[in-house]
Amino acid sequence: MIRARKPLLLLSGASLLLATACTDPSQVSGTDPNQKTKQGALLGGVLGAGVGALVSDKKGKGAVIGGILGAAGGAAVGNALDKQEAELRQQLDNDVQITNTGDRLILTMPQDILFDVDSTTIYPGLRGDLLTVARSLNNYPDTTVQVVGHTDSDGDASYNQNLSERRANAVADVLLEGGVPFSRVRTFGRGESQPVASNLTEAGKRQNRRVEIVILPNA
């Protein structure tokens, strides 16, 4: 029972460190250009320390080693995401929203710029953006890709579910045409089940009609 306390104390300390770092003014204000890299390193260090502590209680050496390895891995992931994000922002149309959460990139494309009403045929002008994403994915091969379709709540829910699946598949097909291996791509349709805005307004419906390309670094 006494031995088990060391890993728990180390984990608690790591959690406190993470909470303190998240209140850093440069991270809150977004003024630090390496914010995501630092967050990745910190998160990796915390998790690595926790794992190391659990597997070794000998003077905390496991936690130290785990923290070093975790921080290095987390920093590498964060740095790669920062770099890929910067490149995509330069290359893609401004209508494409890019979100970097520190552990993934989320590219959100409004369906109104991708498809005509009730259509799964991608507008020719947007194929270029999708092929640009494909080239980026090929330049960063150590990731998997989720293509997720969403709709608003107009119409029948089962129809919207099917439409979201077909639109996700249509976007994924262009990525595959761009050379992204089939094994890296997964498609999902969420229909109207995951709105990001109110379906009571036209503006909200436009936000809900979207396709998200989620880029996840491999563990």
pLDDT tens per residue, the chain (219 residues)? 544 444 444 444 445 444 444 444 444 444 455 555 555 555 555 445 454 544 455 555 555 555 554 555 557 788 999 999 999 999 998 899 999 999 999 999 999 999 998 999 999 999 999 999 999 999 999 999 999 999 999 999 999 999 999 999 999 999 999 999 999 999 999 999 999 999 999 999 999 999 999 999 997
pLDDT value of position 64: 54
Q: Which fold has domain 94-218?
A: 60s Ribosomal Protein L30; Chain: A; (3.30.1330)
178 and 131 Cβ atoms separated by less than 8 Å:
yes
Domains in the chain: boundaries: 35-91, 94-218
Alpha carbons 91 and 85: distance in angstroms, whole number = 10
Alpha carbons 122 and 124: distance in angstroms, whole number = 6
What is the Cβ-side half-sphere exposure of residue 206, based on CA atoms within 13 angstroms?
A: 6
CA 38 vs. chain centroid, Å, equals: 16
CA distances from 213 to 96, 142, 169, 175, 191 (A): 10, 16, 11, 10, 15
At a CB cut-off of 8 Å and minimum separation 6, what does 129 contact?
92, 93, 96, 109
